[in-house]
Chain A
């Protein structure tokens, strides 16, 4: 099957709350797609609809061109981590994976393979209730990988992990995508996806805000601004303003220049003998780009300045 997820005009309401409001996007194979939005934006609801757990009021969610409910061995086509605590605390880690495997005709030896893969081989015979948060996440991920599926969904996989765990998950996501799988990873913090996502789907209040590659997004957020650091700031500003640029003083000995490429700024300053310690193209962080995008969409944003 094709390793894709396709959402068409997906809509879901709970009572009077519209959780997902006409969402359409496609998750392509071979990439990590970040699924980003503030808490309550509808990410988990969307993932549940993809997995056939919640029924959409309108629209469709297809995995490899098929509705999830029609898949006969679904875990061999889609693996998902929804909630890391979703196991009986009294069950041994291996038994938890064993019943999942049995339900989809996956042989027992694969259980040991995924335990090895997530680094839980030593804890296979321990009861899952005694696991740390990080081990629980690894167990949940092991469950998602069990069917060796071409499509993977992870809902907030780095939640509560230590830096070592976060690094491990990032590496895992990258390698899964490199194997040609479609990987959808949700997060409410854009920064968490900084080094792993290739593509971003940002939603707010159940609606699509942007569906773009990370590279394009960063370029758009960075604009053509240049950061200048100099001890003679006022002279530099005069020179650049005369050349048609808009210059804004930011920190001490620093200014942001718009309207001129970095090479032209260097040439102009050298020409006029203005000393400078740094001229660099401005690079927006993913976080910064995201804040800009979701400013309007954040449902319970704190009012600036504490005004009511």
Chain B
């Protein structure tokens, strides 16, 4: 009797797959996910709402060209080129040396990036090429050129300090000295298309002081111009080709449309000592106005991620609620594999959904942002085919997938939908809400220490200049750590939650 039963079984089960494969679990979980119409609708809604909110947010913003008083730098991007310039022409190779006797702020504290020193500049036209040696109250001696290059010299922050620049063809070398006798080379920079005749001399600048006031719900950014006065002695312009020494002239470069007349600057000379007052800054504009066009065009992702988290949580908690989890674990007693299959299915699905949502958002919202003033030369807006944009789009999809897995893991741990959704969504929202009320350092830390840090992958402005005080507000999604650190933080949270889920599933009764 037993044999006949076995034979009948074998016959009836011809073609049944007896292999013990993980793949069939993935297929089973995919069937579960796709066969609940409400979840499919929610995924669709996540795409539609993400794109809609992104487009609406883009339409509502006006970037007004980035404010007045910018120039176009040598590389075609917007720059600040504002300072007081005491200069004379220099033809061919040569150099300029000066001793900075003092550097003081006008009306109170000096700006940490106030600049006083010697400069070799293509012309007096704002945005033209330059190389400069300077002292700063907060960052010692620096050699800077063409707005984006910054090299540190000694940490001497107090005058007097001797500074020298020498030109040889297209390279300019900076030196500093404490006594005018022993010189240290700070570095050499290349100014590829420097003309034969350039302007050399003394310069003083002092950037706009940015004051960030932060309260619950709102943060205000105030900017007030500062100015600085420096005294120079032993000023020598040495030309390789001897000629008649040219007379000094002085003028404010740039800034006339945003710096008050009284702060524009002045220069006097008495007994070989130059007293120069100046205001403004020589710096890239993009760093000052930290607006990332691609990140702005992905605003709606915050709506999409909530929906996706809810679906991912329900993907497992609904099984607990209905008791179906027992059917699941009876069908595959190795529960770790079930959770892994669920994670793969929910991650792959949300990645595709996220890819659609973020690609459509950037595609539709970026042109609107451009039309509203978020455009070169003031703002750097990479093109769609740019690697950083593709990283932002694929990265956003990956962040959504990670949040989905995080939601799934929370669901596996807590087994209840409301609790699991709250546990994932609240840490996503709270930093956004309270960061504005915290000191900047605490807010930056909070944004980086929570899973929301993953959204740093949306950044495309990779050029960030630490020699410019930028308005990088964490609550606006600006991360100073670049795209990958925050993404790593989210990965770590997801991995820990998933590991806890694995452990509990295996340990607990179903």
Residues on A lying within 8 angstroms of B by beta carbon are: 30, 48, 51-55, 68-69, 71-76, 78, 80, 82-83, 85-92, 95-96, 98-100, 102-107, 110, 143, 148, 150, 179-180
Q: What residues on A are CB-neighbors of B16 within 8 Å?
A: 76, 105-107, 110
Tell me, in angstroms, the Cα distance from A71 to B16 when the chains sit together: 16
A5 to chain B, nearest CB (A): 14
Interface centre among A53, A75, A76 (most CB of B within 10 A): A53
The residue that A54 contacts in the complex, of B35, B324, B509, with Cβ under 8 A, is B509
Q: Give chain B's interface secondary structure class.
A: helix
Q: Is the CB of A103 within 8 A of B331?
A: yes
Tell me, in angstroms, the Cα distance from A73 to B5 when the chains sit together: 19
The residue that B333 contacts in the complex, of A74, A89, A96, A105, with Cβ under 8 A, is A74
Q: Is the CB of B329 within 8 A of A52?
A: yes
Q: Is the CB of B323 within 8 A of A86?
A: yes
Decide yes or no: A104 and B331 within 8 Å by CB, A88-B36, A180-B5 being known contacts.
yes
Tell me, in angstroms, the Cα distance from A133 to B281 when the chains sit together: 78
Q: What residues on B are CB-neighbors of A30 within 8 Å?
A: 1
Closest A residue by C-beta to B38: A90
B28 on the interface (CB 8 Å rule)?
yes
Q: What residues on A are CB-neighbors of B509 within 8 Å?
A: 48, 53-55
Tell me, in angstroms, the Cα distance from A71 to B21 when the chains sit together: 13
Q: How many residues of B contact A (CB 8 A)?
A: 40
B45 to chain A, nearest CB (A): 16
B155 on the interface (CB 8 Å rule)?
no
Interchain residue pairs with CB less than 8 A apart (23): A51-B326, A69-B333, A69-B334, A74-B330, A74-B332, A75-B330, A78-B330, A85-B322, A85-B323, A86-B322, A86-B326, A87-B322, A88-B322, A91-B36, A92-B35, A98-B35, A99-B32, A102-B24, A103-B328, A105-B19, A105-B21, A150-B9, A179-B5
Q: Is the CB of B35 within 8 A of A148?
A: no
B448 on the interface (CB 8 Å rule)?
no
Decide yes or no: A99 and B333 within 8 Å by CB, A53-B326, A92-B35, A106-B16 being known contacts.
no
Residues on B lying within 8 angstroms of A by beta carbon are: 1-2, 5, 9, 12-13, 15-21, 24-25, 27-29, 31-32, 35-38, 318-319, 322-324, 326-334, 509-510
Q: What residues on B are CB-neighbors of A88 within 8 Å?
A: 32, 36, 318-319, 322, 324
> How many pairs of A and B residues are in contact by the CB < 8 Å rule?
112
| The 7 A-B residue pairs with the shortest CB-CB distance in the complex, in nearest-first order | A105-B17, A95-B35, A103-B28, A54-B509, A99-B31, A86-B323, A102-B28
Q: Give chain A's interface secondary structure class.
A: loop
Q: Is the CB of B28 within 8 A of A71?
A: no
Q: What residues on A are CB-neighbors of B12 within 8 Å?
A: 148
Q: What residues on A are CB-neighbors of B36 within 8 Å?
A: 88, 90-91
The residue that A107 contacts in the complex, of B1, B15, B31, B331, with Cβ under 8 A, is B15
Known A55-B509, A91-B35; 18 more pairs at CB < 8 Å? A52-B330, A69-B333, A73-B18, A73-B20, A74-B330, A74-B332, A78-B330, A83-B323, A88-B318, A96-B35, A98-B35, A103-B28, A103-B328, A105-B18, A107-B17, A148-B12, A150-B5, A180-B5
Q: Is the CB of B29 within 8 A of A99?
A: yes
The residue that B323 contacts in the complex, of A82, A102, A103, with Cβ under 8 A, is A82
B313 to chain A, nearest CB (A): 14
Tell me, in angstroms, the Cα distance from A78 to B13 when the chains sit together: 15
Closest A residue by C-beta to B509: A54
A94 to chain B, nearest CB (A): 9
Q: What residues on B are CB-neighbors of A98 within 8 Å?
A: 31, 35
Tell me, in angstroms, the Cα distance from A48 to B12 when the chains sit together: 29
Tell me, in angstroms, the Cα distance from A47 to B191 when the chains sit together: 82
Decide yes or no: A103 and B332 within 8 Å by CB, A53-B509, A55-B509, A95-B31 being known contacts.
yes
A220 to chain B, nearest CB (A): 30
